[in-house]
Amino acid sequence: MFDLDLWREIFQSINKNRTRSLLSGFTIAFAILLFTILFGIANGLQNTFKDAFVDDAKNSIVIRTGRTTKAHNGLQAGRWIRLKNEDFSFLDEAYKDKIQYLTARIYKNVNASYKNESNNYTLRAVHPDHQFLEKTLVKKGRYINQNDLKHKTKVAVIGRLVEEDLFIKTEATGKYINLSGVQYKVVGVFNDDGGDNEERLIYIPVTTAQLIYGNNDYIDQINIGYNPKLNYNQAIGFGNDLTKELKKRFNIARDDQRAIRVMNMAEATKSIDSMMVGLGIIILVIGFGTLIAGVVGISNIMIFIVKERTKEIGIRKALGASPKSIVSIILIEAILITAIAGYMGLLIGFGVLKLVGPSLETYFIKDPSVSNALVFGATMTLIIAGAIAGYVPAKRASKIKPIIALRND
Amino acid sequence: MLQISGLHKSYAIGDSSLHVLKGIDLSVDEGEMVAIMGSSGSGKSTLLNIIGMLDEADSGDYILDGLPIDNLTEKKAAVYRNKFLGFIFQSFNLINYKNAIENVALPLYYQGMKRKERLELGMFHLEKVGLADWAQHLPKELSGGQKQRVAIARALAANPKLLLADEPTGALDTKTSHEIMEFIQQLNDEGKTILMVTHEEDIANMCKRIVRLRDGVIMEDKKVTQVRAGQYV
């Protein structure tokens, strides 16, 4: 029930005891402010790490080849190792259950033109799975599909910036683009979070590229997305198995570091993830520390307030105040101050983060912010703590015999 | 109006206990004006506090206006204090952040009276003590005598059966004391029952009956001829 008179009493008490109210409010606002800023900065650090890996799938393994550096099994050093379609099929067969996505990649530099516009771009000939490994976001049309592979169709999926450069405000899908003398039909346009360079790429089917550029079955690179069910250690083991198996296949010395290179994101991800966990623990410790400091602060203030008001409580009781009304007047005041001050601390914290956030990017703190739910939770914690901290002394005060309270001159 | 018999009260002081009231029998009729006298430590304030339900007796009977006062819960005591009793203290005990009218209206707030009504009634009592012009002033802006008059107005606000005064003139100079006493006598003339603790002979003589306490027992209980305070003012 809303008791206007009770609220009037409380507002009068807050208003007429401004120093007390401001001081207690300040403590709470400060605790929430610190909490917000610390959490924001920590989140900013996390964002930076997350951002570094947003572009490519976390579970990727890349296989590249080069020249052998060591003689092995009677073969000379300096032999050029090249991947072929049969190697791709071999991996596909041999590690079926460990591989989620698999694609080959062939690189070419092409001169692309449409009508009067032309420019040089990097072309990647790929399998359909490439879309998921590179996290390519198809904006219009479609990506390369199995049908394209099978029929070696001359289709291309172009980056957003390629469309912008060559098609100048017109729709690219359905039109024909000339890539170094060969006409390809544009079937899709894509975005990529990896930056402008990633949006200046052209994808065509790997089989088409092999047919047109050299009529061979060479592959420049194989990208694997390992089964996400593998844990880090299993994934790292998988990478090592691949290396061993491929070295055997190509007759390469075990300690030859150049001929076959297997880059496993699991290794990097593992260390990043454990770092994130560490960071998370630090954040939690700091956050809880701040909250506990705030709670202790409120408790102190509440005990002080009740002590200061002992005489007033005695007077009120002598005039006929029930214990319940004494408890509620003190408690509601405490909760009100905590809520308002907490909210102010929160607003200031948000403001500070917004204001200085952009300038912190040099310090690896990107977009420092906190979720509303988190700060709301922190404020609620403080309010509940304030209520409990206030309830105990308020209850005790309500039980004081008025005569003892009044003697307290 | 008030019957007390065999009242005992002791306080624990460390390990020992101090026996303050050692069997008090006292009866006060309606319309009386009684001074309770005694040196400090005689138990006079303790007696007043027990009568005022600010403190509890260890044993003995206390009947107020036909209502036995025992086994009081805090809540019940609060209701009784509010309905039956008005307090006047030596140190006034006004709430310092409330102005005069709000202080006077506070007992009415605890009766659940509406704000408008209680401010009206409070104003009526303030007028009665001659402080209508000071209604919006805070206690710190008032003189001692004015503060005590606000306190009296507050004690009267809930129209109590019994007015309890603990050294009401203790913090005031002689002239102001007499003004306050004149006012209290006037209330008694109008029919209020008044019980007052004092250690000043001249103030006690302004009552109609003097009860003297020493070491927790009543030494003397006699009616006196009332000295009117008005003649000094």
This complex has an ipTM of 0.89
B84 reaches A (C-beta below 8 A): no
> Rounded mean pLDDT of chain A?
84
Q: What is the pLDDT of residue B141?
A: 94
CB pair distance less than 8 Å for B106 and A316: yes
- Kindly give, in sequence order, each residue whose CB lies less than 8 Å from that of residue B44, ignoring residues fewer than 6 positions away: B36, B37, B38, B197, B199, B213
Contacts of B94 in chain A (CB under 8 A): 315
- Kindly give, in sequence order, each residue whose CB lies less than 8 Å from that of residue B210, ignoring residues fewer than 6 positions away: B34, B35, B37, B204, B220, B221, B222, B224
CB environment A335-355: b (16+ within 10 A), e (fewer)? bbbbbebbbbbbebbbeebee
Instruction: Kindly report the length of chain B.
Output: 233
With 70 as the cut, is the pLDDT of residue A364 above it? no
3-state helix, strand, coil in chain A (%, to 5): 60, 20, 25
Closest to A342 (Cα-Cα) out of A7, A18, A36, A38: A36
pLDDT digits (tens, 9 = 90+) for B30-49: 999 999 998 888 888 889 88
Return the number of other C-beta atoms located less than 10 Å from residue A182's C-beta: 14
Instruction: Kindly report the length of chain A.
Output: 409
pLDDT digits (tens, 9 = 90+) for A33-59: 888 888 888 778 877 777 666 555 678
pLDDT digits (tens, 9 = 90+) for B76-108: 888 898 989 999 988 889 998 899 999 999 999
Going by pLDDT thresholds of 50, 70 and 90, the confidence category of residue A361 is low
Q: What is the pLDDT of residue A301?
A: 78
Q: What is the pLDDT of residue A395?
A: 85
- Chain B: residue nearest A309 by CA? B95
With 90 as the cut, is the pLDDT of residue A341 above it? no
With 90 as the cut, is the pLDDT of residue B204 above it? yes
With 80 as the cut, is the pLDDT of residue A405 above it? no
Q: What phi and psi, each to the nearest 5 degrees, are found at residue B195?
A: -120, 130
Tell me the nearest-neighbour CA distance from B112 into chain A, angstroms. 9
Query: Residue B15: exposed, middle, or buried by beta-carbon count in 10 A (0-12, 13-18, 19+)?
Result: exposed
Most confident of A110-119, A173-182, B202-211: B202-211
pLDDT digits (tens, 9 = 90+) for A110-151: 999 998 888 999 999 999 999 888 888 898 999 999 999 899
Mean pLDDT along residues B174-200: 92
What percentage of chain A carries pLDDT values higher than 90? 17
Does an H or E element contain B60, and which? strand B59-64
Q: pLDDT: is B201 or A15 the higher one?
A: B201
pLDDT digits (tens, 9 = 90+) for A183-204: 999 999 998 877 788 889 999 9
Q: What is the pLDDT of residue A54?
A: 52
B107 reaches A (C-beta below 8 A): yes
- Chain A: residue nearest B83 by CA? A320
Residue A90: both structure tokens together: 């071999």
Return the number of other C-beta atoms located less than 10 Å from residue B33's C-beta: 21
Cβ-contact A36, A368 below 8 angstroms: no
Nearest to B49 among A5, A8, A403 (CB): A403
How far is the C-alpha of A21 from the C-alpha of A26, rounded, in Å?
Answer: 8
Q: What is the pLDDT of residue A311?
A: 85
Mean pLDDT along residues A157-161: 92
With 70 as the cut, is the pLDDT of residue B24 above it? yes
Angle between helices A323-356 and A310-318 (to 10 degrees): 140
How far is the C-alpha of A224 from the C-alpha of A241, rounded, in Å?
Answer: 13
How far is the C-alpha of A14 from the C-alpha of A51, rounded, in Å?
Answer: 47
With 60 as the cut, is the pLDDT of residue A306 above it? yes
Contacts of B52 in chain A (CB under 8 A): 318
Give the three-class secondary structure for A319: coil
CB pair distance less than 8 Å for A323 and B78: yes
CB pair distance less than 8 Å for B93 and A315: yes
Specify which residues A34 forms β-bridges with.
Answer: none
Cβ-contact B85, B48 below 8 angstroms: no
Q: What is the pLDDT of residue A275?
A: 80
One-letter identity of residue A151: H
CB pair distance less than 8 Å for B78 and A315: no
With 80 as the cut, is the pLDDT of residue A389 above it? no
What percentage of chain B carries pLDDT values higher than 70? 100
How far is the C-alpha of A238 from the C-alpha of A244, rounded, in Å?
Answer: 10
With 70 as the cut, is the pLDDT of residue A409 above it? no
Mean pLDDT along residues A364-372: 70
pLDDT digits (tens, 9 = 90+) for A58-80: 788 899 998 888 888 888 888 88
> Which whole-number Å values give the CA distances from A78 to A67, A68, A81, A244, in the listed order?
5, 5, 9, 19
How far is the C-alpha of B221 from the C-alpha of B210, rounded, in Å?
Answer: 6
Q: Are strands A137-141 and A260-264 parallel, antiparallel or unpaired?
A: unpaired
Q: What is the pLDDT of residue A376?
A: 79
Out of A222-226, A345-349, A400-404, which region has the weakest mean confidence (pLDDT)? A400-404
Nearest to A318 among B87, B97, B111 (CB): B87
Reported pTM: 0.66
Contacts of A403 in chain B (CB under 8 A): 49, 54-55
CB pair distance less than 8 Å for A320 and B110: yes
Q: pLDDT: is A158 or A233 the higher one?
A: A158
Q: Among B21, B74, B92, B103, which would you mutate to test the A interface (most chain A Cβ atoms within 10 Å of its Cβ)?
A: B74
Residue B58 is given by DSSP the state S
Going by pLDDT thresholds of 50, 70 and 90, the confidence category of residue A362 is low
- Chain A: residue nearest B92 by CA? A315
> Rounded mean pLDDT of chain B?
90
Cβ-contact B53, B69 below 8 angstroms: yes
Cα A344 from chain centroid (whole Å):
28
CB pair distance less than 8 Å for A322 and B115: no
Give the three-class secondary structure for A255: coil
pLDDT digits (tens, 9 = 90+) for A256-275: 888 888 888 877 777 777 88
CB environment A94-123: b (16+ within 10 A), e (fewer)? ebeebbbbbbbbbebebebebeeeeeebeb
Going by pLDDT thresholds of 50, 70 and 90, the confidence category of residue A1 is very low
Return the number of other C-beta atoms located less than 10 Å from residue B25's C-beta: 14
Going by pLDDT thresholds of 50, 70 and 90, the confidence category of residue B164 is very high
B52 reaches A (C-beta below 8 A): yes
Cα A132 from chain centroid (whole Å):
18
Give the three-class secondary structure for B180: helix
CB pair distance less than 8 Å for B91 and A409: yes
Residue A394: both structure tokens together: 């308020």
Helices (H), chain B: 44-51, 74-84, 100-109, 115-128, 144-157, 174-189, 201-204
Q: pLDDT: is B200 or A44 the higher one?
A: B200
CB pair distance less than 8 Å for A406 and B54: yes
With 50 as the cut, is the pLDDT of residue B12 above it? yes
Tell me the nearest-neighbour CA distance from B31 into chain A, angstroms. 22
